[in-house]
Copies of this chain bind each other. A is one copy, B any other.
């Protein structure tokens, strides 16, 4: 299990739990929807600063994004 798939699954899971769209989260995190899509599909290798922004946009602590599944 790579970090990428772990991160992507967690982000997508949390986002759906909170019933938010990619567009909404991307907007809050000040990144593009297409990029968030790339992250959620495990195709991008985001920096920890971007991950932090996504976590904030989701209203969770960064550590939640790295929890093993």
Contact = CB atoms under 8 A, between A and B. Distances in A.
A57 interface: no
Interface string A1-44: 01110110000000000000000000000000000000000000
- Chain A: interface size category: 10 to 19
**Binding site secondary structure of chain A:** helix
A49 B2 CA distance: 8
Contacts of A2: 52
A47 B46 contact: yes
A63 B7 CA distance: 10
A68 B62 CA distance: 9
A62 to B, nearest CB: 5
